[in-house]
Amino acid sequence: MKHTLALTAAAFGLVLGLQATPASAGTNITIYDVEVNPAETASVLTPVASTFGYGQIVLTTSVGIVDAWCIDLYHDIYVGGGQSLPYTTGPIVTNGNGVDLTPTQIAEIAGLMVHYTALAGTPDNSLATQLAIWSVEYPGVFTYSAGASATNEANTLIALAPSLVGRSDALISLQGLQGLATADPRLVPEPASLALLGAGLAGLGLIRRKHAR
């Protein structure tokens, strides 16, 4: 994970706070700008080594301004403007190392993303949320060094994660770049919508069988 000011190679996952047209599963999204705000410096020790200002990410995309989080420690996305990075939406399946995530991990990561909106939004809150997401995603593998305040809050969030509620989906790079994640309800299909879709497909199946007789 290498970092420069104009073009920063860092790994970002998404919790989308869209301010424009709602999207849905299978929607193509283009990222034009990636910024970190607020950020506090921490050092990731394992599974990869890097020291940067981590925290919530603000993206400018084809569907509006998006709030983001790093979820993939193994692949890169560039920081800065003047970009045109194509992504599509789909289910979260693995972490950045290709290891399957459990339903519990996916739910806890989404819950942490959503919970951040209830926090004060300080750099400590932002960094602690990021560290907690990584800790849930890479259990027993992720280690880091950060200030006492952010570390204490990250530990609190990790303990809180099983009780948090959230749904999430993935943003999948169409150029082999960073795989991302979103907990924005406008990008994640609603359970009711999924039920209706299932009912509709079942109905089509009955009609098809009827015509086949």
In the prediction, which pLDDT does 186 show? 59
* pLDDT band of 88, cuts 50, 70, 90: confident
Extended beta strands in the chain, E state: 8-10, 13-14, 28-36, 40-46, 50-54, 57-61, 64-69, 77-79, 85-90, 143-145, 169-173, 180-182
Is residue 149 in a domain? yes
Q: Provide the pairing of β-strand 169-173 with 180-182.
A: antiparallel
Number of structural domains found in the chain: 1
Which of the pair, 207 or 81, is modelled with greater confidence? 81
How much is the average pLDDT of 58-87?
Answer: 86
| Domain range enclosing 117 | 8-212
C-alpha angle 191-197-202 in degrees, rounded to nearest 5: 125
* Of 160, 115, 118, 114, nearest in space to 135 by CA: 160
* pLDDT band of 149, cuts 50, 70, 90: very high
Contact 171, 14 (CB under 8 A): yes
Is residue 3 in a domain? no
Is residue 75 in a domain? yes
pTM above 0.85, yes or no: no
Is residue 65 in a domain? yes
Is residue 137 in a domain? yes
Token readout for 35 is 């910024």
Is residue 45 in a domain? yes
Q: Give the Cα separation of 32 and 194 in Å (integer).
A: 30
Is residue 1 in a domain? no
- Is the pLDDT reported for residue 196 higher than 50? no
Contact 11, 70 (CB under 8 A): yes
- Is the pLDDT reported for residue 203 higher than 60? no
* pLDDT band of 191, cuts 50, 70, 90: low
- Is the pLDDT reported for residue 59 higher than 90? no
